[in-house]
Structure 1
Amino acid sequence: MRKVLEGGPWTMDNRLFVLKKWSPSVRMEQERITSIPIWVKFPNLPLHLWTKECLGKIASSVGSPLFMDTATQMASRISYA
């Protein structure tokens, strides 16, 4: 269950499906999604911009960066950061 709750967001039939642990105090009519993690690709980015600082600044234009994937950190896949 933990993997499912922490592994999202999920989609079903191309629709966002958000899971949260239920508690008696949860009122469904008051629940609103205010943010959601997304994966962003930066294609054809020059390698000199592949630093944590530069990518963080670029990514912050769409939100708060959470982490950088291993392939980007290691520059093992250079078609996109």
Structure 2
Amino acid sequence: MSVNSEKLRPILLRALNKNQILLVRKLKYHRVLSRTQLLIEISHSGNVPLSTLKLNFKILKELGIISQNGRLTALGQNISWIIGD
């Protein structure tokens, strides 16, 4: 099955909220930080409440976009590539 990323991009941008997109984009580049450290850093730099980020992190994990250890899964990496920076 071939997927047209140009058509899928707007769908993903509507399906994921801004905090989920922020998390996916940050996880693309942060491999060293723990989940807690990453969420605190994003909270401070993006002026987003930590509790909001924790909830969205949990949702992304339940959707299979983020793994148990807080890394992007193969699906998450594909989504990250499609939505871009």
Larger Rg: 1
Check whether TM > 0.5.
no
Is the strand fraction higher in 1 or 2? 1
Tell me the TM-score normalized by structure 2: 0.35
Is the helix fraction higher in 1 or 2? 2
Flag the structure with more relative contact order, 1 or 2, with Cα contacts below 8 A and sequence separation at least 6.
Answer: 2
